[in-house]
Amino acid sequence: MESLPQSVKLQDVADAAGVSIATASRALGGKKRVSAETAQQVLQAAKRLGYRVDPIARALRAGSTRTAGMVVPVIGNAHFVELIAAVENELQAYGFELILADSHGNVQQEAKRLRTLVDHRVDGVLLVSHDSKKSAAAIREAMRAVPIVQIDRKVDRLHSDFVGIDDAAAMRLILEHLVERGVRTVVLASADDANSAGRGRREAYERLVTELGLLADPHVIDAFSVESGRDAAEEIVRRGELPDAIVAGSDVNAVGVISRLRELGLRVPADVLVTGFDGTQLSEIYNPPITTVQQPVRAVARNAVSFLLSRIADPAEPARDSRINTELVIRASTSAPMGHTR
């Protein structure tokens, strides 16, 4: 499901009328807290621009706070930074403000953040869960009070909307690329199975390694973090002979891997190829730039916000599951075909 097809957004109307987005929203909604002169100004701007009032926004329940909450596990993770920005941009186009919370990768803190958002009467919550099993209880409790859309990671056996990527298809792009580069041996350096992204990428990797005839050394599994990537690189080097390629479960893992390899006197891609996962700006500016799968962050945010607004308007809608495809971005970290430089 895509967001509503509308080229002119509420922000455009507000700018044209010289008012805030909240004032424009109240004027178009016929609220009494807007003067007749301001309301007329907004309505004329909307007509001039060809703006259509969003039927979802019209259907929002009375007493809406026009706020949405978002909980992420690590607010400083490069992927979440980009996802938060995209979500906030989408919400503001509908006259909503974002209240952001960091669970710090802790189930108890996640539950506390959810309770705080509910207490602040947000209209709905976008959630990147920490644990695919342990997070379930707190989410179910919060769902009794507000609509929740899971984004990026999915909790097991939880009946709610979800928007994310197809991890298996993304991993196929990476491994098929490495096969084309002449890679024969690989190692996975990623997060554990605590969240659905870590589990999904590992499971896809294991299936595809067998399908593509690759030889896989034992995984090095911990978390999606730079430090985990550094630890993984040290463990892989300690084992002795390097694999042809290290497949990182995220861009931050890949950065950690490459930085530690460099400290140990090894070169990427001359000594070993390294791939990332997420397509953050970090992967583009790092040295060497990292081959990765590009998550369509804007499309994920667009679908998630659209799901949330329609869920607020109609809580009885069936739960939806949106998986968006990624694209492979080939950069210098895999630029050397095997056998040419080693």
Same-domain status, 289 and 238: yes
Q: List all residues 6 or more positions away from 38 whose beta carbon is below 8 Å from its beta carbon.
A: 17, 19, 23, 27
Q: What is the CATH number of the domain that holds 313?
A: 3.40.50.2300
Same-domain status, 160 and 301: yes
| Domain range enclosing 46 | 10-53
Indicate the pairing of strand 185-191 with strand 220-222: parallel
Same-domain status, 183 and 208: yes
Phi, psi (rounded to 5 degrees) for 104: 55, 30
Among the ranges given (31-35, 128-132, 274-278, 311-315), the one the predictor scored with the smallest mean pLDDT: 31-35
Same-domain status, 283 and 261: yes
CA neighbor of 80 nearest in space, from 102, 95, 106: 102
Residue 2, pLDDT above cutoff 50:
no
Same-domain status, 196 and 274: yes
pLDDT at 341: 43
Q: Is residue 1 one of the residues assigned to a domain?
A: no
What tokens appear for 140 in the block?
Answer: 């179910």
Q: Are 149 and 285 in contact (CB under 8 A)?
A: no
* Average pLDDT of span 97-101: 95
Residue 249, pLDDT above cutoff 90:
yes
Mean pLDDT of the chain: 90
Same-domain status, 80 and 104: yes
pLDDT at 4: 38
pLDDT at 32: 60
pLDDT at 5: 41
Q: Which amino acid is at 52?
A: R
Q: Is residue 2 one of the residues assigned to a domain?
A: no
| Residues of the chain above pLDDT 90, percent | 74
d(CA 337, CA 4): 45
Q: What is the CATH number of the domain that holds 47?
A: 1.10.260.40
Q: Is residue 223 one of the residues assigned to a domain?
A: yes
Same-domain status, 198 and 185: yes
pLDDT tens track for 119-178: 999 999 999 999 999 999 999 999 999 999 999 999 998 989 999 999 999 999 999 999
Same-domain status, 160 and 189: no
Q: Is residue 61 one of the residues assigned to a domain?
A: no
pLDDT tens track for 276-309: 999 999 999 999 999 999 999 999 999 999 999 8
* Average pLDDT of span 241-269: 97
Residue 3, pLDDT above cutoff 50:
no
Q: Is residue 5 one of the residues assigned to a domain?
A: no
Coil, helix or strand at residue 60 = coil
Q: Is residue 20 one of the residues assigned to a domain?
A: yes
Grade residue 55 by pLDDT with cuts at 50, 70 and 90.
Answer: low
Q: Is residue 3 one of the residues assigned to a domain?
A: no
Same-domain status, 158 and 187: no
d(CA 115, CA 141): 9
Same-domain status, 40 and 77: no
Count up the domains in the chain and report the number: 3
Helices (H), the chain: 10-17, 21-28, 36-49, 55-58, 78-93, 107-119, 136-143, 167-180, 196-212, 226-239, 251-263, 281-285, 297-313
pLDDT at 342: 45
Same-domain status, 86 and 26: no
Q: Is residue 62 one of the residues assigned to a domain?
A: no
Residue 26, pLDDT above cutoff 70:
yes
Residue 53, pLDDT above cutoff 80:
no
Same-domain status, 279 and 176: yes
